[in-house]
Structure formats: C-alpha cells, structure tokens
Amino acid sequence: MNEQVFEALGIETLPARLGGNAALKERIGADSSRWRVREVGDGNLNLVFIVTGETGSAIVKQALPYVRLVGESWPLPLKRSFFEYHALKRQAERDPGMVPEILFFDEAQAIIVMEYLTPHVILRRALIEGRQLPKIGRDLGLFTARTLFRGSDLSMPTREKKADVALFADNVELCDITENLVFSDPYFEATLNRHTTPQLDGLVEELRRDRDLKVEAQRLKHLFSAKAETLCHGDLHTGSVMVTDEDTRVIDPEFAFYGPISFDVGMLLANFWMSYFSQEGHEAEAGGRDVMRAYLMETVETIWETFRAEFANLWRSERKGILYQASLFEDRGDPLGAEQALAIVLDDIRREMLGFAGVEMHRRILGLAHNADFETIADPDRRAVCESKALKLGRHLAVNRERISSLADIRATAERLYRETLS
C-alpha cells in the first residue's frame, strides 16, 4: 500500500491491493486468493466492502473523491476519511467499545479497515421494522455524554483541545454540506430540495414564509459554525448506529467537527421523533404500532436522561479542564457553585438541542437527504400525513426551544400531533 495516487477499490482488485496488509491478514486469513468481497455501501458518500477470508471478516471503507449519491459533478475531498479515522480514535478512547475497532488506515487511499460488526443491523432499519432494541437508550445517552464531555474544555488539556480544533477546522467541505443542507436549503427553493408533492406543498410554503422559524434556523447555523465546544460526531442519526439486542455501535463520523455539545444529541433525538411519526406509515392496521410508538418515546427520554445523568457524573468526577475549575468552587468549600453552573450548562444544552432536532426533522423531509423511515412508505398520501406531523413538531421545537422545559411536554405535543388525522 504505497500508492500515492488515489485509486478506487473494486471487488476484483481489493484482494490484490490489500493482500499484503498484515492487520487484515491476521484478522481474516492470510490467503487473499480465498477472500470473498461484497460491496455493501448503501450510504450517500463512500464505498464499503465486506471482505471475508478463512478465519474472519472485516469492513473496508473507502472514500471517493465525489458524493456517491450525486456523482462526479459534486466533488468531495478524500480527506474526510482522515477526519473519520481521527474521530473514531477519539471516540474509542472516550467511550470504549462503542465504535468499531480500527485495523488499518491508509490516508492517501482514504481507506479505513475496521471490525465487521455482525449480526448487527442499522438501527434505522430495525426501527422501521418495528423492532425494539432494549439497550440503545442507555448506550446512546452514555455515548453522547462521554464523547461530548471528554472532547471539550471541561475535560481536555486546552492546548490539546485547541490543536484538535485546528485539525478538524479543515473538514470544510463536510461542514459545508451540513451548513447548507440542514440550516438553509430547506427554508427556500434550493435546487437540490425535494418533498412529497403536491400533498405537502401548502405546509412547505407556510414553513418557508415562517419568519420566526427561518431566524431560528439561522441562529442554529450560527451556533453550528461558531461554537467550537467539543468534537461532535457530526452526523449522529439512526443510520449511523448499528445494533443487536445486546450491543450498540456508532459508525461513520466523517462529518466530525468542533461544534456545540447539543448538536449530536439534537440530531439523534430528531431521528427518533421522525421514527415515531413514520410508524403510522408502516403499521398493518391502525394502532398496530402503538407499543412501538410508546417504546420510541421512552427511548427518547432514556437517551436524554442518561445523557444528563452521565454528563453530571462526569462534571462531578472528571472536570479537569479550564472551565468551571474546582479551584473556584469545590476547593473553596462551594460545591453548590459547581452545581449551579452545571444546571445552567445543561439548560443551555437542552435549549440548543431542541433547536437542532427541529431543523433536522425539516431537512430530512424538505431537503436533499431524506430518510428511509419516510421514504419506505410507498403511498405518498400516507407518507405525507406522517411527514406533515414531523414537520409541525420540528417547527414547534425550533421556534419554542427556549420555552420548552421538559421532554415529557414534547411527548404530549407529539402524541397530540399523531392523533390529529386519526379516526
């Protein structure tokens, strides 16, 4: 692997090109002539292969110099693979066991070889099928709290944090995607947008006229672009989580950037709320997914409460960074000062998180990158009913985020929206 000129892997060429790789040979078997290769990339950006040899399997992920979903007309630099690799390394340190093990990284070829997760499935697919995963609420709450706390000035030596800010500041092109596709395009007639038409036309027009909503979406973009608080996963939706009943793994952090602690949490919860509204489009008979809907709402609350509890736990036990130093509080006999600051910080995170959740729900229905929860509802009338409820909750969250004090209130609002068109 000393090629300096990038070359995309293929099913045929992979064994020859990676056959000399010690880490891969050790994991799956040294005889590369017996490797079987399948291409399984179903994402928007990259090549993903499962390579199986005599003693095991591994994932070979390779970035392409363009957006796979769109084609060579939308170039996208290979360096996103570098950021994904560095994010995976940091996440593995900050919450061990929650990301795939990395076996090998080749920066010039933009190749990451990693653990093959089996029998894991993509969480989004499981939720569409109506499957309840018992551990995800707790696992994802802990993952967000640990990675986001430990990547911030609450925990890291600030010299390292600043160097990391500089490193990830170069992930410009992937930030640009989020900046446009999440915060701006959904709110005007951008070229790449699409939505279920004509069913949603009226509501879409209403949202694009909604001054308060547009202002909030841009305030959130302002936070996204300016608040370099911690290393975010950057794309933490249910398609970036692989699960079994016993195991939860977070994958694909190529959008990693220094941003607000609230960002990953908001993106993640938005995808559960969308799953909630999409269930209606997947149930065989009315009410057939009632138990699943209750499970999704409980999972949202579990993620948020676990996040809060673990963040508070780390605040009290690992607050070694430059912020809210113990020398001002605990060391002066004022632990309540630290508790007061924690309450304010968590309050700020909640208010921002709800805003990010709101715009994520919009962009998945109005923008370029839709999600399978809704897309797999074949009947457009039925799909539009689900999508319109998600759009309305998104608007409610984005505009009223400063005034919503509890997740229980959101559950009540969502349940009311769900019942809107029933009977």
Interface contacts to its own copies, rule CB under 8 A: 152-153, 158-159, 162-163, 165-167, 169-170, 172, 175-176, 179, 184, 187-188, 190, 208-209, 211-212, 214-215, 217-219, 221-222, 225-229, 322-325, 327-329, 331-332, 334, 336-337, 340-341, 344-345
State the burial class of residue 42 (Cβ atoms within 10 Å of its Cβ: 0-12, 13-18, 19+). exposed
| Encoded amino acid at 74, one letter | W
Looking at the Cβ atoms of 230 and 278, the one nearer to its own copies is 230
Looking at the Cβ atoms of 295 and 311, the one nearer to its own copies is 311
Q: What is the DSSP string of 198-212?
A: TTTHHHHHHHHT-HH
Looking at the Cβ atoms of 172 and 286, the one nearer to its own copies is 172
What's the min distance (Å) between Cβ of 263 and its own copies? 12
What's the min distance (Å) between Cβ of 232 and its own copies? 12
Question: What is the C-alpha separation between 201 and 42, in angstroms, rounded?
Answer: 29
Looking at the Cβ atoms of 289 and 308, the one nearer to its own copies is 308
Looking at the Cβ atoms of 13 and 340, the one nearer to its own copies is 340
Going from the C-alpha of 196 to that of each of 76, 178, 390, the distances in angstroms are 28, 22, 13
Question: What is the C-alpha separation between 17 and 13, in angstroms, rounded?
Answer: 6
What are the residues whose beta carbons fall under 8 Å from the beta carbon of 54, sequence distance 6 or more?
Answer: 28, 29, 31, 34
What's the min distance (Å) between Cβ of 173 and its own copies? 9
* DSSP label of 324: S
Q: What is the DSSP string of 331-353?
A: GGT-HHHHHHHHHHHHHHHHHHH
What's the min distance (Å) between Cβ of 161 and its own copies? 8
Question: What is the C-alpha separation between 356 and 368, in angstroms, rounded?
Answer: 17
Q: DSSP 3-state assignment of 78?
A: coil
Looking at the Cβ atoms of 120 and 162, the one nearer to its own copies is 162
What's the min distance (Å) between Cβ of 295 and its own copies? 35
| Encoded amino acid at 344, one letter | I
Q: In the numeric block, which tokens belong to residue 406?
A: 């509890």
Find the helix or strand (DSSP H, E) in which 217 lies. Answer: helix 211-226
Looking at the Cβ atoms of 255 and 324, the one nearer to its own copies is 324
Question: What is the C-alpha separation between 330 and 34, in angstroms, rounded?
Answer: 61
Q: DSSP 3-state assignment of 259?
A: strand
What's the min distance (Å) between Cβ of 234 and its own copies? 14
What's the min distance (Å) between Cβ of 394 and its own copies? 16
What's the min distance (Å) between Cβ of 162 and its own copies? 5
Looking at the Cβ atoms of 93 and 160, the one nearer to its own copies is 160
Looking at the Cβ atoms of 45 and 261, the one nearer to its own copies is 261
Measured N-to-C along each axis, helices 335-366 and 290-317 cross at an angle, to the nearest 10 degrees, of 140
What's the min distance (Å) between Cβ of 262 and its own copies? 12
